[in-house]
Each structure stands twice: as structure tokens, then as C-alpha cells.
A and B are shown apart, each in its own frame.
Chain A
Amino acid sequence: MTGLALPSLRRPNAPLPLVAGGAAAAWLVGWFAEAPAADWLAFTVLRLEPGTHLGDAVAFFLEDLPKVLLLLLGIVTVVTLIRGFFPPERIRPILAGRGLLPGTFAAAGLGIVTPFCSCSAVPLFIGFVEAGVPLGVTFAFLISSPMVNEVALVLLWGLFGPGIALAYMAAGLTVAILGGLLIGRLRLERYVEDYVWQLQTGKMRPISVRLTWADRLGDAWDYTRTLVHKIFPYLLAGIGLGALIHGYVPTDLVASIGGRSNLLAVPIVVLLAVPMYSNAAGTIPIVQALLGKGLPLGTTLAFMMAVTAISLPEFVILRRVIKPPLLAIFAGVVTTGILAIGFLFNSLIG
């Protein structure tokens, strides 16, 4: 199994509202039918016993795979569609004209809705700084954008409910705001590579081609199907591992190793998360199974945030525009923030 190939929706034969409506209806039917269908498959067709290790593991897998796939397909498409209206070129003038405090808050918030890929981190950084966006505000954006990952946010909401999803978002925003304010106060402009200041940015011209709704929907669906195709093997592995944990790992084991009494648990999961960069979706089923077995919320959130925000490739790319001391401060702020969130939630919530 190498991936999940989904068809393109460019230039569909049917009218656009019909395609979109049909997709939405099929999605809803799938959403409500998948849990009973999974139970029926596991316990009636495969004749597994509910309550046994094997039965629970198989039912978990059959129920979770379509659920996570539906969430990804539906919500990433919608989120990508919305984000298409907030390109960095459009939010830059909003951030350039503000003071440090309102600018930092705005940047942290906009970081959530603006599409960001570490491969455009450098032009984005230069573009912001050149336009007069303060350094702290730029970093608030650079922290919030990957830290509040929309895939993670949406899956957390769908699988655990709004409480945990909102806690994840609030925590990421707080780290981005505090980090941005700190970097702004420290006056670290000298650690930006000199050539960045000497550049003359091109005038922002409106892009000559206007996007239609068909373009936007086609873009969003293309993004989603490429993403799902890419992460599908990880998703299978993640849900498979999650199913094994759900069926076989005793609750006491997880609670005693990863419980709140073990202060090393948060740093350890953060360390484990570093090589998992960009696989937020594949890690969620594991996280779900571990939460169910007693892994505390703070440890879980720290893990989710570290997966998306501590990205070695991004640090390497940013080295082209900022000098090592600032890079170290940036990495330090992100890591410290994630650790603090882990410990804070663990001590506040039982």
C-alpha cells in the first residue's frame, strides 16, 4: 500500500454546485454510517468478541480509519478554501502598520488562517521585515503558523471534542504572543542577515488573474488529495499502532510511565516528536489511544505541538535569513513554550 489516489476535480463535467453538494451529502452519509458499519463488520461479519483484546483492536481500527479519513478530506478542503482568502501578500499591510502589542496579537491570530509551508518561510520573512513589520511581530507569525496546525486542530476537535481543540489553539496562540513580545523586546535586529535590510522589495501589484470559485475549490481539493495521498501510509501505521495500544496495552502501564508523576514524560514526548515533522495526522490516532489509556492532557498537547512546530528543516531554511543566535532564541522559545504548556496543563487538569 503506497498511497491513496483520489481523482482530480478540475473542470468537472457536472455544474459546480452539484459536485460540491453531492460531495457534502456523501460525506455526511459516510460520517453517520461508519461507526455502526465498523461494529457490524468486526462483530457480525468477522465474528469477533466485543471486550476481547483482538475484538477491541480490530473494531478501533475499522472505526477510526474512515473517521479520520473523512475528517481530513472534509475539513482540510474547507480550511484550505478559507485560507485561500488570506495569502501573506494580503495580510502583510495589516501587520506593517501596527505597534508591537496589537501587531503581535494580530500576527499570532493570522498565523492560524494563513497558509504556510516551510519552503516559503524565507521569502515570507524577507517580505515581512522589508515592509516594516517589526521583528517580534514577524516571529509571532512564524511561531503561530506551524504551532497551531489546522489539521491537528480539526482532528482534535473531531476526535476529542471542542474542549481539547480550543485548549490546543489557546496554548499555541499564547506561546506565539509571548514569544513574539519577547523577541520584539530583546531588540535582536542585528542578528538578521545584513542583505535582508538592503533588499528593495518589489511593489505589491495585484495579481492579474482573478480566481473563480471553481479555481478555489479545485485548488483546495488538489491540496487535500495530495496531502491525504502523501500521509496515507503514516495514517495506516498510526491507526494500526493506535489500535494495538487500544486493545492490548494495559491502562496502568501508560499511566505509570507517562503519568503526571513522571516529570520526564513531557520532555521525552517532545524529543520523540521532533523527527515526526509534518506527520500530524499520522500521530493523532496514537495520541487518541494513549489519551484513552491515561496519558495526561498536557503531555498529549506538548506532543502534538512539537510534531508540527519543532521542525529541523524549517530551522535550516531560516538560517539563510537569520544568524545563529536569533535562530537559537527562536528554537528555544518554541521548545520552552511547548514544555511549559505540557507542565501547565498537567498540573491544572487531572
Chain B
Amino acid sequence: MRSIEVLGSGCPNCQRLEANAREAVAMAGVEADVRHVTDPREIVRRGVMSTPGLVIDGEVVSTGRIPSAGDIAVWLSK
């Protein structure tokens, strides 16, 4: 079971990232739990200041941008 966290306040960009992440899970064909972290304290605790951020299995893979579903799928299959 993989863990995916979308870090963001719920702004439109964060919603798009979450949608891409869910699409990527389907593309990669993995089991994953996708969570949206909106608490700014939790976001900062992960070392991220520019949202939206993406964390896969506890590792920050992207901040301040919206990676495509294809890119996220590649990261998931590593």
C-alpha cells in the first residue's frame, strides 16, 4: 500500500494535483491511499512552503507545481 499526500489549502491548483494523483494511481495500477493535507502546520512540518506539494511514501517529490498524471505514475512505479 503506497501513501500519497497532496499538500495544499484546497485551492484550485491543489484540486488539480489531487485529480492527477488519483489518475496516476489508476495508470500505475498500484494500491495507494491518497490524502489531502490542508493544515498549514502539517504542510510546514513536511518542509514545504510553496503549495501544492506532493509527498509519496513520506518523500517530498514536488512543490509549487502540478506534475502531470503521467509523471506521478512514473514516480509511483519506481
Contact = CB atoms under 8 A, between A and B. Distances in A.
Interface of A: 10-11, 84, 87-89, 92, 115, 117, 119-120, 122-124, 126-128, 130, 195, 199-205, 207-209, 215, 218-219, 222, 317, 320-321
Given A119-B14, A120-B49, A205-B60, A222 B66 contact: yes
A89 B48 contact: yes
A88 B50 contact: yes
Contacts of A120: 8-9, 49-51, 64
A135 to B, nearest CB: 16
Contacts of B77: none
A209 B75 contact: yes
Given A119-B9, A201-B47, 17 more contacts: A87-B63, A87-B64, A89-B47, A89-B48, A89-B50, A92-B49, A119-B51, A120-B50, A124-B50, A128-B49, A205-B47, A207-B63, A208-B61, A209-B62, A215-B71, A218-B68, A219-B66
A207 B40 contact: no
A124 B47 contact: no
A277 to B, nearest CB: 14
B61 A87 contact: no
Given A120-B9, A209-B62, A195 B51 contact: no
B46 interface: yes
A207 B65 contact: no
Interface of B: 7-9, 11, 13-14, 40-41, 43-51, 59-68, 70-71, 75
Contacts of A205: 47, 60
15 contacts: A88-B64, A89-B48, A115-B50, A120-B8, A120-B49, A123-B48, A127-B49, A128-B49, A195-B41, A202-B48, A203-B47, A204-B47, A207-B60, A209-B62, A321-B40
Nearest to A196: B41
Identify the 7 closest CB pairs spanning chains A and B, nearest first.
A202-B47, A119-B11, A127-B49, A122-B40, A120-B51, A88-B49, A123-B43
Nearest to A120: B51
Contacts of A117: 11, 13, 51
A183 B67 CA distance: 37
Nearest to A127: B49
Contacts of B62: 207, 209
A203 B59 CA distance: 12
